[in-house]
Amino acid sequence: MATGIVRYWAAAKEAAGVAEETFEAITLGELMTKITQNRADLARILRRCSFLVDGSPVGKRPHGEVLLHDGATVEVLPPFAGG
């Protein structure tokens, strides 16, 4: 089980109610399941978010296949407005 920090930005931060929190998870998919428990608004927003793990974009990879390691930082980035 890896431990690290998840950081929320913009609308995700508002829905989570915190700017960041610690996590314990093996994959990004497991992390998403844990952080959305009892947070319906956050779950709705995460469906549209992009994710960075230690600064690297997750892209279209299935979240269940994105492994997390001890000390990882996961950034949750809602869609940005503008062009």
CATH number for position 66: 3.10.20.30
The backbone region for 24, taken as left when phi is positive above 0, alpha when psi lies in -120 to 50, beta otherwise, is beta
Say how far apart CA 67 and CA 63 lie, in whole Å. 8
Note whether residue 40 is domain-resident. Answer: yes
Note whether residue 82 is domain-resident. Answer: no
Note whether residue 15 is domain-resident. Answer: yes
Note whether residue 41 is domain-resident. Answer: yes
How does pLDDT run along the chain (83 residues), one tens digit per residue? Answer: 899 999 999 999 999 999 999 999 999 999 999 999 999 999 999 999 999 999 999 999 999 999 999 999 999 999 876 55
Note whether residue 6 is domain-resident. Answer: yes
Note whether residue 18 is domain-resident. Answer: yes
Looking at the structure of the chain, the number of domains it has is: 1
Note whether residue 71 is domain-resident. Answer: yes
What residues make up the domain containing 14? 2-77
